[in-house]
Structure 1
Amino acid sequence: MTGVHSLLPDGHPGLLLPPGQHEDLPRYLAAGGYAPLPDPEPLLDRVAGAGLRGRGGAGFPTAVKLRAVRDAAGPAVVVANGEEGEPGSVKDRWLLRHRPHTVLDGLRLAAAVTGARRTVVYLSDTAAERAVRRALAERPADPRVDVVRTEHTYVAGEETAVVRRVDGGPALPAAKPPRPYESGVGGAPTLVANVETLARIALLHTHPDADGAAVAEGHLVTLAGSGGRAAALAEVPAGTHLKVLADLCGHGRAEAVLLGGMFGGLHGPGWADLPLDHDQLKAAGGALGCGALHFLEPEDCPLAVAADATAYLAAQSARQCGVCVSGTGALAAALRAVAAGDAAADTADRLGRWSAQLPGRGACGLLDAAARVAGSLLAHFPGQIDAHQDAGCAACRRARPGDGHRFAVRVP
């Protein structure tokens, strides 16, 4: 069972997560939703002044993306990206199921800012699609919104994969450049925005007198441990220490954490003092990514977690880039051999070399995630390779590498 918690106080202007109320149109209108936008420029300035960053993974400044699409040649397209590929993340599906009008309002506002003539909601979750279609049936009719369904995979939410699927093709990443803001859906400049990002744009508009930074600072995070036990979806202020989040979901005994779904890597001693902050996590060698945190209890083996993560990523490869297929496969095979006690003498050296050389060489971030998992294991748990030599461990023997079961969390 996944719990729902908020560390933002009741009445906070940036609150998305109060549980127990389905967001219908009367309730959303009463909260100030779908307010007119006579001039989009002040809203763009407000998004920039608030310091809002994208919540899809990269944490890129939202105002920069909005301006890039607005200033590109030709009529634009805006896509609400609700396809969260990380098995340990549930926030986007929760928003689409329970706050569809907030997301659709943010989509409307982003379209107004960019001058978009077409908008799309992109998703794979059946319950989310039902909620969105109900909301579309009762909301104001302008602008037109299309709903595009995709299959749930790790790479389906990557922005070029989104564009390909909306255009009727497979949900697979494409080579860059061009980026979607240059040439996206149908060749038009396209903003692919995470649904939480759009929801926070809506909050900035519905709370015009509130401090913008306070509205934008909230983060939806998915918290869990092995097998999804003691999982939680939480809304917390930026800067919250990771130990507070571990305590919040019942993993106060944790000795390590896997950050950002799988993109942020493993962190051992000192992890508890890290803040939920893009820049500080990057400085520590990690990444916030989609905001999913997987805590490792004392009985969990970090090598088993790394082996499972890389095997899952290797299985999820789009198999379009040779370097990704060979790279993720080699990382997964090496860690699987270590976990089984069958590692060669040079395995640690090879893992170190690959984790340094592979990032940036694939069409999407999947290869980077696998390399960071392996590299962070070596950096934060340097004794694990030797400890598993010729033996392995009980946790590794229990693992089911490749299916992602360890990281899966149920949507509350």
Structure 2
Amino acid sequence: MTVATALTAVRPLPGDPAGSVLGREPGAAESAETYLRSGGYGEAASPGRLLEAVDRSGLRGRGGAGFPAAVKLRSVRDRGGVPVVVANGEEGEPGSVKDRWLLRARPHLVLDGLSRAAEITGAGQGCVYLSDPYAATQVRRALREHPPRIPVEVIETAHTYVAGEETSVVRRINGGPALPAAKPPRPYERGVAGQPTLVANVETLARIALIAAHPDLSDAIARTTLLTLSSWRDAPVLLEAPYGVPLRDLAAGQGSGDAYGALMGGLFGGLVGSGALDLALDPVELAAAGTSLGCGAVRFLAPGGCPVAVAHDAVDHLAAESARQCGVCVSGTAALRDTLRQLATGAAGPDAATRLDRWAGGLPGRGACGLLDAAAGTAGSLLRAFPDAVRDHLAAACPVCAGCPSTGGHRLVVPVPDVAGIRPDPAPVH
């Protein structure tokens, strides 16, 4: 099995892009002048009415958990104090590129949404949190072009899987390591500098800005989402799609119309078989089917690949990215990885499936963050979605898996689409 190395393509929505996060020219960085001409940074409804519009639209967070955006905004607003709002652009999932692309290409849209969130919550300070130097350059440039109403600081961090978890974000901004912290308190209770803190994904904030500028399109804005679609064989695609589209249609649009399943939600939605491709792109429907849209990253399983190899690659990546704060995470992810590696190479004992099943049921919820849950969930979903493949691997070595190196997390990485005219600052992360 090889790796698709083609650059990621960007496909905008057809028709009027007024309510689109991808915008009119997704291949170019948007200037303040262009954004202002499109209605950005304009007068909008009062903060209270904007919050009502966000609530009515049903907008969910786009960072992975899909939590209602209006509930988070109200929780921070009603906590008192002087809140802080954070645009979280630290994209830890290897198969997702939407947040880095958004900060590189449309930083003004994100900063507009950050300002709207600050007005709703009464915040006195904002932060943009990221690890991508190209994105940092663009955000700083955008802040110079159109200074915000509140002080906004760009905070850079090292890129890791757990660095974008909300308590990791708060610890890093407060001067500590970007590692998950014990909960409670949660950031909305006590976060940056001890103040109630909204940690919002950058796409979530972008959609709040679009709702402010186009209230008549609120429902469509809330029910459209950015997706990173990939497979081992076909070039990846970043696109914007409305809820309700069958996953099978998305697979065909990406080039994987013959897909027999998918790895859903980055590394958090698990593996699903062919029947799940008839499900609609909808958080509620996917959750009812036992999977998740997560961060909007979907890796289709194309013929010629192997679901066991994909499960191994995912857990291998997670084991390598463990924060190593929880002993159960270190030992649990290593055990899952090693057993999946043995399964992939034909070296597993007859009890391998039994052990994977036991760990898949017993490990979730025991770590400080969701990394261990993702690893256990991936193993469990392999057993549920592809039991025949597991049995075949127990009986004999798999020729597809035999052609894969033993460490394979890098095979899940998708390149960020090119954005014309940007150069990274040489300043180091500090």
Instruction: Report the TM range for the smaller structure's normalisation.
Output: over 0.9
The RMSD of aligned alpha carbons is 1.4
- Whole-angstrom CA distance in 2 between matches of 1:88 and 1:176: 28
**Long gaps (5+) in structure 1:** none
Aligned to 1:188: 195
* Partner amino acid, structure 2, of 1:131: Q
Q: CA deviation at 1:239?
A: 1.5
Verify the 8 A CA contact 1:50 1:216 in the aligned structure 2. yes
Pick from 297, 304, 308 the counterpart of residue 303 of structure 1.
Answer: 308
Q: How many residues align?
A: 410
Pick from 82, 88, 96 the counterpart of residue 75 of structure 1.
Answer: 82
Verify the 8 A CA contact 2:13 2:20 in the aligned structure 1. no
Aligned to 2:127: 120
Q: CA deviation at 1:393?
A: 1.1
Aligned to 2:225: 219
Bigger mean CA offset, 102-111 vs 241-250: 241-250
Aligned to 2:370: 365
Aligned to 2:259: 254
The reply to whether residue 101 of structure 1 matches residue 108 of structure 2 is: yes
Give the fraction of aligned pairs with identical amino acids, expressed as a percent.
59
- Whole-angstrom CA distance in 1 between matches of 2:20 and 2:97: 19
Residues 38 and 298 of structure 1, relative CA distance in 2, 3 Å threshold: closer
- Compute the TM-score of the two structures, normalised by the length of structure 1: 0.97
The reply to whether residue 286 of structure 1 matches residue 317 of structure 2 is: no
Aligned to 1:274: 279
* Partner amino acid, structure 2, of 1:246: A
Secondary structure in 2 matching 1:257: strand
- Whole-angstrom CA distance in 2 between matches of 1:266 and 1:115: 41
Q: CA deviation at 1:31?
A: 1.3
Verify the 8 A CA contact 1:74 1:188 in the aligned structure 2. yes
The reply to whether residue 48 of structure 1 matches residue 55 of structure 2 is: yes
- Whole-angstrom CA distance in 2 between matches of 1:361 and 1:23: 43
- Whole-angstrom CA distance in 1 between matches of 2:77 and 2:399: 55
Aligned to 1:155: 162
- Whole-angstrom CA distance in 1 between matches of 2:36 and 2:391: 61
- Whole-angstrom CA distance in 2 between matches of 1:316 and 1:11: 37
1:256-293 superposed Cα distances (whole Å, 9 cap, x missing partner): 10000110000112022011111111111111110001
Verify the 8 A CA contact 1:14 1:217 in the aligned structure 2. no
Pick from 363, 369, 388 the counterpart of residue 393 of structure 2.
Answer: 388
**Long gaps (5+) in structure 2:** 1-6, 418-430
- Compute the TM-score of the two structures, normalised by the length of structure 2: 0.93
Secondary structure in 1 matching 2:274: coil
The reply to whether residue 200 of structure 1 matches residue 223 of structure 2 is: no
The reply to whether residue 5 of structure 1 matches residue 11 of structure 2 is: yes
Verify the 8 A CA contact 2:360 2:376 in the aligned structure 1. yes
* Partner amino acid, structure 1, of 2:179: L
Q: CA deviation at 1:390?
A: 5.2
Q: CA deviation at 1:337?
A: 1.0
* Partner amino acid, structure 2, of 1:309: A
Verify the 8 A CA contact 2:91 2:97 in the aligned structure 1. yes
Q: CA deviation at 1:17?
A: 4.1
The reply to whether residue 411 of structure 1 matches residue 406 of structure 2 is: no
* Partner amino acid, structure 1, of 2:184: P
Q: CA deviation at 1:143?
A: 1.1
